[in-house]
Amino acid sequence: MTKRASTKGGATELPGQLPTGLSWAELVDWAVGDAGSLAAAARRVAAARGYKEDAASIERALRRLRGRGHSDGGAWGDRVLSTFGVPPQAEERARFLGAYHSRFTDLPLPLCRDLVAVWDRPPLSDAPACATWLALARASCALRGREDADVATQLERARAGLSAGPPEARVEHALVEAYARTPTSPERAREQLDVAEGELRAAGVLDARAAPSADWACLHVRWTDQRAYACNRLRPPRYDESEALYDAVPLRGAPPFVASRRAGGLAYVAWKRGRRDQAVAFAREASTRAGDGGHLRLRAMSLSMLGRILGGDEGHSYRMRAIDIARRLDDESLRLRFERPAPSL
């Protein structure tokens, strides 16, 4: 179990063959395989604990742990996790579920909830970094279902493991919290975007000469989207700043998710500045790029944007297509966004 998730086509793809969920038996078997034998695994745990217990006692504990299924692993579960961690494929699965730019969010919401429930249990949910991604996955589902109280609960749960997780998880958390806070606490949202910006700069992603990974490129364009949204909401709007932010997103080698979000943002700015033909072209590009990457929610967003720009009967047909996609995904947040009356120029 050493194969990492593929990033073919842009954002993190679903890893290959892996059992449904991760049980304690599978974790112990992986640890045994990594160490070479059950005895060797027990010796590694003993060494990690300063030989407080003898290896034979630890072997017996590992055998008992195998039978715990998805129940609480207790002290020995914690000790195995701290010594061996979790299989890379299992960690990548948690990451796939928690990253908004993965294709997980293009599944119908009820199915997303079912998948998270399968994985969000011991031992994976006891590993701090994985628990963070799983909490972010639940927060994403709650956002789509417009369940504000659960969004706050899951973001707080995710926060507990941020220090133990990768920087991408910290950016993900900051972006999700900023999005959730924008309607009611814009100042808090700005603070979270500053947190995300700091992580992006530290990773070199905002350096024009950098060639970030697909995941970092997706995080960059999502941060850009939220910064540009704040510029567009000012009175008067700062469309020049918004356009400059999108122009700064590199297209060379960009995955479809990035290309679609960039084109969608430029379409909005062009529309609001009265450049209708350019706006239509960008909106069509956003739709095509979303389709290329299999990003169904992004395609719905671009169709809705195209419908608002075109107006009339043709625009209405595009907006109805977007609403139909949102309904098929059981995505209440997306549906309500599409059904709002189009703002006037």
**pLDDT above 90 coverage of the chain, percent:** 86
Q: 306 versus 209: which is more confidently predicted?
A: 306
What confidence tier does 19 reach under pLDDT thresholds 50, 70, 90? low
What confidence tier does 15 reach under pLDDT thresholds 50, 70, 90? very low
pLDDT in tens, 58-70: 999 999 999 999 9
Per-residue 3-state assignment (H helix, E strand, C coil) for the chain: CCCCCCCCCCCCCCCCCCCCCCCHHHHHHHHHHHHCCHHHHHHHHHHHCCCCCCHHHHHHHHHHHHCCCCCCCHHHHHHHHHHHCCCHHHHHHHHHHHCCCCHHHHCCHHHHHHHHHHHCCCCHHHCHHHHHHHHHHHHHHHHHCCCHHHHHHHHHHHHCCHHHCCHHHHHHHHHHHHHHHCCCCHHHHHHHHHHHHHHHHHCCCCCCCCCCCHHHHHHHHHHHHHHHHHHHHCCCCCHHHHHHHHHCCCCCCCCHHHHHHHHHHHHHHHHHCCCHHHHHHHHHHHHHHHHHHCCHHHHHHHHHHHHHHHCHHHHHHHHHHHHHHHHHCCCHHHHHHHHCCCCCC
What confidence tier does 225 reach under pLDDT thresholds 50, 70, 90? very high
What confidence tier does 18 reach under pLDDT thresholds 50, 70, 90? low
pLDDT attached to residue 345: 42
pLDDT in tens, 105-134: 999 999 999 999 999 999 999 999 899 999
What confidence tier does 207 reach under pLDDT thresholds 50, 70, 90? confident
pLDDT in tens, 251-288: 988 999 999 999 999 999 999 999 999 999 999 999 99
Reported for 192-195, long-range contacts at CB under 8 A and 24+ positions apart, including other chains, are: 193/223, 193/226, 193/227, 193/230, 195/170
The arithmetic mean of pLDDT across residues 70-74, rounded, is: 96
pLDDT attached to residue 210: 72
pTM metric for this prediction: 0.89
pLDDT attached to residue 211: 74
The arithmetic mean of pLDDT across residues 34-56, rounded, is: 96
The arithmetic mean of pLDDT across residues 239-255, rounded, is: 94
pLDDT attached to residue 228: 97
